[in-house]
């Protein structure tokens, strides 16, 4: 079983019968717990919407977004394209 971080949040979710059966079968076939499947699914969802999944990724994203206006201003001052 995967280790849980010191601070965890719990949420009750509800599945229809068909979805539960499909998730249960997927978990058995891949030898993963429902928690492992949920972790993977939520990480994929966050990536899809370009949201950081951990502190390191959040810092990188923040550095990129704060550097972008500076780079555009430098390019304009050099007569570059917008």
Contact yes or no for 76/82 (Cβ under 8 A): yes
At which residue do the structure tokens 């068909």 appear?
18
List pLDDT tens digits, range 5-64: 778 889 999 999 999 999 999 999 999 999 999 999 999 999 999 888 888 888 888 888
The pTM score is 0.63
Domain ranges of the chain: 16-51, 56-82
Beta strand spans in the chain (E): none
Kindly calculate the radius of gyration of the chain based on its CA atoms and give it in whole angstroms.
Answer: 20
List pLDDT tens digits, range 43-60: 999 999 988 888 888 888
Which phi and psi (to 5°) does residue 4 adopt? -95, 140
Q: How far is CA 13 from the centre of its chain?
A: 19
């Amino acid at each position: 079983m995967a280790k849980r971080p010191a601070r965890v949040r719990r949420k009750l979710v509800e599945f229809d019968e068909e979805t539960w059966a499909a998730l249960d079968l997927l978990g058995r076939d891949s030898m993963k717990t429902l928690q492992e499947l949920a972790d993977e699914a939520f990480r994929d969802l966050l990536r899809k919407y370009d949201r950081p999944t951990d502190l390191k990724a959040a810092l990188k994203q923040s550095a990129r977004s704060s550097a972008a206006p500076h780079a555009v201003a430098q390019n304009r001052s050099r007569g570059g394209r917008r």
